[in-house]
Each structure stands twice: as C-alpha cells, then as structure tokens.
Amino acid sequence: MKALLLITGSGPMLVLSSLARLDDDVLIGGLRTKGVAKFIAYELPIDEVERHYGGHYQATIQDPQQGDELRVLDVDGQRIFERVRLDRLGEPFIYEPAGRPNKVFLD
C-alpha cells in the first residue's frame, strides 16, 4: 500500500493505493470519479501516515466500501498539513489530462 499526498484544484487529499504506478488508468479513473481531473502527487512513508492517523488509518484500510486501488484517508487540508512534514516530500508526480504524466513513476 502506498500513501499519497495529492494537491488538487479543491485542496489536498491523502489517499492510499495498492497500485504500483501513479499513471495507472484505474487510479486515474478512480480520482476522476471523485472530481479530480489533474493533480500533483507525492508519496509519503506509509509507516508515518499509519502512525499519524492511527485508528482512522486502520478503519480506512478495513473499509469494505473502498477498494485497494484507491482509499481516501483524509480530505481536510488543515489536518493533512498539520500531520505531513512538507520538508520530507520527494519529487512530485504531475498529472495533466491533456498532457503526459510527468516527473516520477513510483515502483
């Protein structure tokens, strides 16, 4: 499972995904159904996300209504920014629907 900080037009989102690549059509399609057409993504250390979100992380992982391809952990920008260290973000992955995915492909 990967933890991803997404910067979107409506604000930051923290999502979990089992998919290896950020340009995977299933992930892109899942984000589109949630109203996200383009985004900048950063992978976060999953152990840190689990530690910061505790029981909510566990509840999200076990939620049978969300698939492993895309699980939304948090959409509250203020809370996300309180818990995520921005100085630890790596290279961004940039997705533009009219263009090509750019920058980083996560393994």
Cβ(42)–Cβ(87) under 8 Å? no
Closest CA to 46 of 80, 92, 3, 83: 3
pLDDT exceeds 70 at position 54: yes
Cβ(22)–Cβ(4) under 8 Å? yes
Give the pLDDT mean for 82-97.
90
Domain ranges, ordered by start, for the chain: 2-93
Tokens of 32: 């589109």
How many Cβ atoms from other residues are within 10 Å of residue 14's Cβ? 25
Q: Please give the residue that has the higher pLDDT: either 39 or 107.
A: 39
Mean residue pLDDT of the chain comes to 89
pLDDT exceeds 60 at position 48: yes
How many Cβ atoms from other residues are within 10 Å of residue 36's Cβ? 17
pLDDT exceeds 50 at position 105: no
Give the pLDDT mean for 56-83.
93
